[in-house]
Structure 1
Amino acid sequence: MSRPRTPRRPDVTTLDLVGGPEALAIELHPADERWPGRYLDHRRRIQDALAPADVDIEHIGSTSVPGLAAKPIIDIVVTVDDITAEEDYLDPLLAAGYELRVREPGHRLVRTPERDVHVHLFERGDPAVDEYLLLLRDHLRSDADDRALYEDTKRALLSRRWDDMNDYADAKTDVIVAIKARARAARGQ
């Protein structure tokens, strides 16, 4: 049974990076056939925590692309009805053992204490979700050249020292933007 929907309230306006910057000490691992199973385990955990809420849950990121080397971190996107109604999703996920890492406009991120699963929460209909799913994940699954480019870029970047994982993610932006542009062109957008 769903709770009665309360009026939408203003979202946060700044980035809250819980715990501050973290040094990145991760390397790429060859594609691992266990990653989809780990995703499914956390999908069930998230569904159980958020039942009976109406949420969509998808495996995103490099571990969702067969054959792509990746940091061994399972990325999951969850869409909720109202990102500002944190009591509907954040409290249950924290009770299920996830920890809050990021609170920013339109996006929350919780993760496991081991930091090996990241759960990105967005409001249903947020364009970022299609960016993750259709323009990046699905395109990389079907385009070997862009998959190789993305992997080569990650390898080159991970050969450097990063004081914060977010800086590493930002350094991939130009390549990701180019890949998404090709994905849009392939889709006729």
Structure 2
Amino acid sequence: MGPHVPNAELTRHHDSPGDDRMWVHGRPEPTPITVVDYDESWPAQFDRVAARVRAALGRRALAVEHVGSTSVPGLPAKPIIDVALTVADPADEAAYVPDLAAAGFVLVIREPGWHEHRALKLADPNTNLHVWGPDCPEVARQLMFRQWLIDHPEDLARYRDAKLAAAAATNAVGEIVTAYNRHKEPVIRDIYDRMFREHGLLEG
């Protein structure tokens, strides 16, 4: 984890606004949530995306990390590569969005209240590029979670089951991906809390 991330920030769970304010181009249309078996090509797809980001931004890309379910070997996932990009200031969109747009990325989410989070989409390979600032707690959380799932197959299995159930529940009523995230959130938070307790970051 980053050396300057306070424990209280690292262990605090974020609640999304629960409305459409974050969508730059408006709420997306519902599409079926598809969770597929782990694909051995996902690391190579990440490498392609990382190379494109670094080519577009050069030294402005302070870190480019493979996060999310496609970064965990053996874990079923939506076939979308999640990437955590660290820049000097995510709120300074002019410093990075135009060059990423020229490389094929489209800004889709803006969440100033969540560590100035921004998200951009790339079509090929299908990618969510999450933009954060230096020593961001969320990046540290995601990297810890990735390693925890790799090291704890019982939690990987539990998370797999939660993902499949969340996809089924979301598709049954035609909701969008934010609803899928809400359905699996209780299991994710429980795994996070046990991980933090194991690392001595939470009591109880």
Instruction: Report the TM range for the smaller structure's normalisation.
Output: 0.7 to 0.9
- Superposition deviation, residue 114 in structure 1: 5.7
Structure 2 gaps, min length 5: 1-16
Query: Equivalent residue for 1:89?
Result: 96
DSSP 3-state at the match of 2:60: coil
- Normalised TM-score (structure 1): 0.87
Q: 1:81 to 1:57 in 2, by over 3 A?
A: same
**Hey, what's the Cα distance between the residues in 2 that align with 1:89 and 1:186?**
37
Question: Is structure 2 residue 156 aligned with structure 1 residue 147?
Answer: yes
Q: C-alpha root-mean-square deviation of aligned residues, in Å?
A: 1.8
Residues 114/169 of structure 1: CA separation in 2 closer, same or farther (3 Å cut)? farther
Instruction: Give me the TM-score of the superposition, normalised by structure 2.
Output: 0.81
Structure 1 position 16, deviation (Å): 3.1
List aligned pairs for 1:106-117, cutoff 5 A: 106-113=116-123, 116-117=126-127
**Aligned sequence identity (%):** 35
CA–CA distance in structure 2, aligned partners of residues 62 and 24 of structure 1? 19
Which aligned runs of 4 or more in structure 1 are off by greater than 4 angstroms? none
**Residue identity opposite 2:142 in structure 1:** Y
* Unpaired stretches in structure 1, ≥5 consecutive residues: 1-12
Is 1:172 aligned with 2:193? no
Aligned positions of 1:6-155 closer than 5 A: 15-17=21-23, 18-105=25-112, 106-113=116-123, 116-134=126-144, 136-155=145-164
The 8 Å contact of residues 120 and 128 in structure 2, kept in 1 or not, is answered as yes
Instruction: Find the counterpart in structure 2 of residue 8 from structure 1.
Output: none
Partner Cα separation in structure 2 for residue 112 and residue 41 of structure 1: 11
Q: Which residue of 2 aligns with 1:183?
A: 195
Cα distance between partner residues in 1 of 2:138 and 2:59: 24
Query: Do the aligned residues in 1 keep the contact of 2:166 with 2:181 (CA within 8 Å)?
Result: no
Paired residues of 1:21 and 1:165 also in contact (CA < 8 A): no
Q: Which residue type is aligned with residue 16 of structure 1?
A: M
Contact 1:21–1:163 (Cα < 8 Å) also in 2: no
Equivalent residues of 1:99, 1:113 under 8 A apart: no
The one-letter code matched in structure 2 to 1:81 is A
Partner-residue secondary structure (3-state), 2:59: coil
How far, CA to CA, are the matches of 2:27 and 2:61 in structure 1? 32
State the 1:92 CA deviation: 1.0
